[in-house]
Amino acid sequence: MVRLTEISFACEDPKRLAAFWAAALDYEVVDIPPKLQADMAEAGLDPDGIAAAADKEQKGPKLFFERKPKRPPVQNTSIPIHIDIESPDRRAHVARLVALGGTVIEEKELQVGDRLFEWTIMQDPEGNGFCVEQLA
């Protein structure tokens, strides 16, 4: 069986982004093991340049954040991959994410037959695009 185990982000502030995504997904920030921090320092790497967040129930993929350069952010609708979050109360969840440093880009809706799809296009504190959808 193949499964998705980790999603990695290049970022400027790993700890801030780990905290944002942990709150966004009801994950928790994971401590980086002291041995790994020591090994990084010995290798000339910044041990404070990484952070992680994980699903409290161990069902979803771990999120890994590493301080390193990335391409400039682009409009969410034109990037080939982004994260979608489903919430039972989209508007309340979006408000919570804005309070945590997220930015609303656009509200969207699409009628397909008798079903109305509603979502909010957002960016995290470092400009990574994602959408928040209403649970059906």
| 13-53 pLDDT per residue, tens | 999 999 999 999 999 999 988 888 888 788 777 878 899 99
| Closest listed residue to residue 75, CA positions, set 11, 128, 119 | 128
Residues 86 and 112 in one domain: yes
The domain in which residue 23 lies consists of: 6-67
Q: Quick check: is 1 in a domain?
A: no
What is the DSSP code (8-state) at residue 34? Answer: H
CA distances from 86 to 4, 95, 103, 118, 127 (A): 18, 14, 17, 11, 20
Its pTM surpasses 0.85? no
Any idea what the CATH number is for the domain that residue 14 is in?
3.30.720
Distance (Å, whole) CA 94 – CA 107: 10
* Structure tokens that stand for 52 in this block: 């992680």
Residues 62 and 96 in one domain: no
